[in-house]
Amino acid sequence: MSIKKIIAIGSAKGGVGKSSITASVALHLSKNYSVGILDADIYGPNQHLLFDIIEKPSFTKSNERKLLNPIIKKNIQFSSVGFLLEEEKPAMWRGPILSSTIKQLFYSTQWNDLDFLFIDMPPGTGDAYLTVLKDINIDDFILVTSNNKLSISDSLKTLTMVKKFNINVLGYIANNLIPNTQSNNKNIFNSKKINYLGYVNFDSKIYNFDTNYVPDDIIALSQKILSTINKI
Ligand SMILES: Nc1ncnc2c1ncn2[C@@H]1O[C@H](COP(=O)(O)OP(=O)(O)O)[C@@H](O)[C@H]1O
Ligand SMILES: [Mg+2]
């Protein structure tokens, strides 16, 4: 198992498109790279729904350890608690169990030589973030925000937290969730020094997640992410 780059995609704000953008970028990059997604949103996993994963994972025993074989869809390797919980059954767990579940999803999945592992983060700045930033050796963080003062305020909290852990921030993505408006606003964070990776406009193919189609905004964004990584 080797993973070249681990990139967490997050924001303290819910509903800004973290899961949709993670899935879309992974879908595009999976055409030329070996890509995986870890769904760290334990209370609200979505990746298995976006990719219509209904099968249950198999496990392999290795040196007395039980390892989850990632489920592969669209050439992407997935690990998620969504595979293991029954639909409509919430994970009603306190922080320590949430943290150990995230660590288990990462360390006990038999990832098969990945160029990129994307971690789809939940909202908040709590246990999931502490676990991913502290206990998993991630390389980079990408912030997702919409151009709205509530989202911007929450995103700034995320940024402060990520920087506290000395994690490299590749930049932010502006997700324009409002249909029939175009946005390429680069000044969301005004004076704050954070690299702008690109925007994603509202797209019905993202809204109804179509795994056979990648919007142009996502292609441009993925290229920018790749070029930013290569500059480091
Ligand atoms: N660019 C977009 N175009 C259309 N719908 C979007 C876009 N980004 C997100 N959505 C929709 O907005 C909602 C929230 O997105 P989601 O990815 O679940 O956000 P988060 O993971 O941050 O909670 C979902 O219904 C999703 O389909
Ligand atoms: Mg999500």
Nearest CA to ligand 1 atom 8: 17
Q: Cα of 61 to ligand 2 centre, how many Å?
A: 31
pLDDT at 184 exceeding the cut of 90: no
- The finding on whether 19 has its CB within 6 A of some atom of ligand 1 is yes
Give the tokens for residue 223. 């290229």
**Residue 100's pLDDT is what?**
96
The secondary element (H helix, E strand) that includes residue 66 is strand 65-68
SS3 167: coil
The per-residue pLDDT for range 61-110, each reduced to its tens digit, is 988 899 999 999 999 999 999 998 888 889 999 999 999 999 999 999 99
Q: What separation in Å is there between the alpha carbon of 74 and the centre of ligand 1? A: 20
Mean pLDDT within 154-161: 96
Ligand 1: does its nearest atom lie under 6 Å from the Cβ of 46? yes
CA of 18 to the centre of ligand 1 (A): 7
> So where are the chain's domains?
3-231
Task: Report the nearest atom of ligand 1 relative to the CA of 22.
Answer: 17
Over residues 214-225, mean pLDDT? 98
Tokens standing for residue 67: 């390892």
47 CA distance to ligand 2 centroid (A)? 8
Residues 110, 67: contact at Cβ < 8 Å? yes
CATH 1.10.3470.10 given to domain 3-231: no
Which range among 89-93, 127-131, 200-204 shows the weakest confidence by mean pLDDT?
A: 89-93
Q: How far apart are CA 134 and CA 8, in angstroms?
A: 12
Q: How many CA atoms lie within 13 A of 42 on its CB side?
A: 23
Tokens of 125: 């700045």
